[in-house]
Chain A
Amino acid sequence: MASHQLIDDYVNRLARRLPADAVDELADGITDTWHQHVAAGRSPTQAAHAAIAEFGTPQQITDAFVAQAPGRRAARLLLATGPVAAACWGASLIVSRAWTWPIPHPAAVVFGSALLLVVAVLVLAATGRHSYRRTRLAGVGGLGLLVLDAAMVAAALLLAPTLVWPMAAAVPVSLARMMWTIRSLPSALAS
């Protein structure tokens, strides 16, 4: 633990905003900084103020972590694939006359609603600037997109009366996105 009440309070404020590993690392660093100022002849309280000033405010540090959060980057990448996937699947659905597929209307409505919800969650994760927790919504959004991609591929392969040429692009796009999501999300969520 830190060695001065001001440092303890500072670390506690960080702990409410950031992952435990990051907080442990910051606590070690600011305690080192405090010790250095004490060794230089400052009083413990002066040393605490100096160490905190050197580190930056908890909001500054949180914002820096948010800007480089793996979840934020993952959400941005997934959103960036949206136009390509939408174009491929849109063409596939139109060319194969998707309204003739044997899919109950409520299921299509649920799928569309889920897609809008997933996009909204990813946008939230991608655009936050001050909350690290918000970047972790990328996990929920990524998982949702994984399920939707799988559902879309399954529907195209199993329910479409005939396979149409745009699916030759749409299916690989979805499969590639699913593989990237499976590979990337665990590390993004662990940090």
Chain B
Amino acid sequence: MNAQAQVLKGHLDVLLLATLEAGPRHGYAVKEALREGSGGRFDLPTGTIYPALHRLAGAGLIAGSWSTVDGRRRRTYRLTAAGQRRLHADRSNWHDFATAITALLETRPWPATS
């Protein structure tokens, strides 16, 4: 797993929740939304996204339902109310964090210490 994927793992939950904000998706569509939304940068093995979805379902943040498509069983996930709340909270935390980091990384003279 590359370094970018390692960093991504720490934020995987909120990213998975965000892919479901627009509406229900099945596992492959979630993976495609992650890939397209990141401009192809996030490169987790697709198969490892499924256990993360199962964990989120177990935590009550998303809910899965089964249907049959082209003769295959398909599980589609949607955000629950708890998932919506978690997504909004994590998004807000991320914005605060990113704003602070961006401010620190801006090219500017650092204050001198005595």
Q: Residues of A with Cβ closer than 8 Å to B?
A: 1, 21-22, 24-33, 54-56, 60-61, 64-65, 67-68, 70, 187, 191
Contact = CB atoms under 8 A, between A and B. Distances in A.
Interface in B12-51: 26-28, 31, 45-48, 50-51
Contact of B46 (A21, A33, A67, A191): A33
Task: List the 3 closest pairs (A to B, CB-CB), nearest first.
Answer: A56-B45, A61-B47, A64-B48
Contact of A55 (B47, B54, B71): B47
Q: Is the interface of A mostly helix, strand, loop or mixed?
A: helix
Contacts of B55: 68
Contact of B75 (A1, A25, A68): A25
B103 interface: no
Interface string B71-114: 11111000000000000000000000000000000000000000
A156 B51 CA distance: 42
Given A25-B73, A28-B72, A33-B28, A55 B46 contact: yes
A29 B26 contact: yes
